[in-house]
Chain A
Amino acid sequence: DTAVSQTPKYLVTQMGNDKSIKCEQNLGHDTMYWYKQDSKKFLKIMFSYNNKELIINETVPNRFSPKSPDKAHLNLHINSLELGDSAVYFCASSHALVNYEQFFGPGTRLTVL
């Protein structure tokens, strides 16, 4: 069974559209994250959720909003997509107070045309 899964794997859409990426983890972790990897492979944290509370919010446009219906899911909603949003988005999870290891999903490649 996949530990951290994301859907869809690929997402191609037009500027101005609204889209969502789903993430689920079956590891029983209490913290989930979203990272953005740009075209130069640079990885940067966007959000993390711990017990349904947002504990990190970097300088991310408010067009991006994480939504966590329960501890096993952290979905990423993006409104009014822009060309610069094109990237690979990775979901990750960890048990914050255990060994600090973050487990990553396979990524979602978003292309905005």
Chain B
Amino acid sequence: AQSVTQLDSQVPVFEEAPVELRCNYSSSVSVYLFWYVQYPNQGLQLLLKYLSGSTLVKGINGFEAEFNKSQTSFHLRKPSVHISDTAEYFCAELSGAGSYQLTFGKGTKLSVIP
């Protein structure tokens, strides 16, 4: 069974500092990876996705992620965070074998400190 591991449940960081949220996936076949953000009391919004091609993926709000097949990782980064980035971040893997099921990690709570 697929599994997605987000190594940090909470990440506090000062405003304007860089941040990395870590994610490891388990699939050894075709890999489709996603990062979603959930602001308080809201639904999930896609930040970025990796389907194929360049291993460095750029998303919205200045976020980017790097797909690393040898390390089975898909870490999310931002060079300078803002207060408005405070939210829950979810890494997810898609099974493309006819089911299109998203398997989510347990989430990382990013808290930006003024």
Contacts and interface: CB of A to CB of B under 8 A. Distances in A.
A100 B106 contact: no
Which label, helix, strand, loop or mixed, suits the secondary structure of the B interface? strand
Interface size class of B (residues with CB under 8 A): 20 to 34
B96 interface: yes
B46 interface: yes
Contact of A100 (B94, B103, B107): B94
A45 interface: yes
A59 to B, nearest CB: 12
Nearest to B49: A101
Contacts of A92: 44
B72 to A, nearest CB: 19
Contacts of B88: 41
Dominant SS among interface residues on chain A: strand
B90 interface: yes
Nearest to A97: B100
A12 interface: no
Given A55-B98, A55-B99, A100-B32, A105 B104 contact: no
B114 interface: no
Interface string B34-58: 1010100011111001010000000
A43 B90 CA distance: 9
Interface of A: 4, 31, 33, 35, 40-45, 48, 50, 55-56, 90, 92, 94, 96, 99-107
